[in-house]
Amino acid sequence: MWKFTTSKNLNPDSDEMILDTENIPKHIAIIMDGNGRWAKSRKLPRSMGHKAGVEVINKIVKASSDIGVKYLTLYAFSTENWQRPKDEVSALMRLLVEYMRKELNNLNKNNVKIQTIGDISKFPQICIDVLEDSKLKTKDNTGLVLNLALNYGGRAEILGAFKNIFNDYENGRLTKEYIANLTEENFNKYTYTAGIPDPDIIIRPSGEQRLSNFLLWQCAYSEFWYSDILWPDFTVDHLYKAIFDYQKRDRRFGKVK
Ligand code: FPP
């Protein structure tokens, strides 16, 4: 149903479902929301919703990689998610370990590089081990970067950057002048996403229209795309539709065209 073409063959006024292969977002970030409601509507435990949510990930990774997305950031566990019932937190940790163990070879074969943002040191050792192993094994891959946001919070990230800048000053690695003249570019080097371009588009399914502490520093000029679909029902079609809508947006970055 979807067609792909280059900019010069595209009619901007047409509503045909055609994606411009020269305007694919470099960085897509997704808030994988709605697992709980998906499970509830089926009278299943919330953990089953998360399990169904994990099953969507591979399809989205593959489709993103196929159309040339460079970075895919998935919000998998926020700094606030610790406040969920203990068994739900444990289920999420278990699903993460299972996913990495099951899919690592496949991801590696497909040239996917695994990275994380957030403070994973607070995770159970088994999660840390499996994540570090996945990062190590895929570190030289040059394809899609699958960036998992784990124990991630935008405010914590900004505070952490600030504290690290202060530490570097205390240890003599930064001068007072450097801090007095701190630029956005230099501050960026202290964030989890140092070296990664800001997300072009943030996708949030499930009907909620908020950021929930996701990529607060990085989203300054991101396009937002919302949908009522619950994450376990999210398909490649929805991804393409989000990109299709994104390609129709006029990104001015505060300037005039
Ligand atoms: C939000 O839905 C979802 C989460 C807090 C967790 C998302 C995590 C996964 C899909 C699994 C992570 C694992 C890997 C392999 C990255 P919700 O529970 O808030 O849904 P609700 O709003 O309907 O209750």
pLDDT single digits (tens) 162-214: 999 999 999 999 999 999 999 999 999 999 999 999 999 999 999 999 999 99
pLDDT over threshold 90, residue 257: no
Pocket mutation for ligand 1, best pick of 30, 31, 35 (most atoms within 8 Å of C-beta): 35
Give me the domain span that covers residue 212: 20-153+198-247
pLDDT of residue 14: 78
Would you state the pLDDT for residue 13?
Answer: 77
Number of domains the chain is built from: 1
Average pLDDT over residues 218-242: 98
DSSP assigned state of 198: P
How far CA 138 is from CA of 88, 109, 134, in Å, comes to 29, 9, 6
Residue 15 lies in a domain: no
Nearest to 107 by CA among 76, 132, 144: 144
Examine residue 59 and state whether it is found in any structural domain, yes or no.
yes
| CATH code (residue 240) | 3.40.1180.10
pLDDT at 85: 97
Predicted confidence (pLDDT) per residue in 108-120, tens digit: 999 999 999 999 9
Q: Phi then psi for 117, rounded to 5 degrees? A: -125, 145
CB of 53 shorter than 6 A to ligand 1: yes
Which of 11-15, 116-120, 136-140, 154-158 has the least mean pLDDT? 11-15
Written as one letter, the residue type at 124 is P
Atom of ligand 1 nearest to the CA of 53: 10
Q: Which pLDDT score is estimated for 11?
A: 82
Residue 10's pLDDT is 81
Question: What's the pTM?
Answer: 0.96
pLDDT of residue 136: 98
Active site residue 33: yes
Q: Note whether residue 10 is domain-resident.
A: no
Residue 160 lies in a domain: no
Q: Which of 23, 58, 81, 164 is catalytic?
A: 81
d(CA 26, CA 199): 8
Helices within the chain (DSSP H only): 35-40, 46-67, 86-109, 125-138, 154-170, 176-180, 184-188, 236-248
For residue 100, give both structure tokens: 């990495």
Radius of gyration of the chain (CA): 19
Q: Is 81 in the pocket of ligand 1 (CB under 6 A)?
A: yes
* Residue 3 placed within a domain: no
Query: What percentage of residues in the chain have a pLDDT greater than 90?
Result: 95
Catalytic residue selected from 11, 13, 15, 33: 33
Q: What is the 8-class DSSP label of residue 197?
A: P
Quick check: CB of 52 below 6 Å from ligand 1?
A: no
Q: Which residue has the tokens 């997704």?
A: 30
pLDDT value of position 55: 98
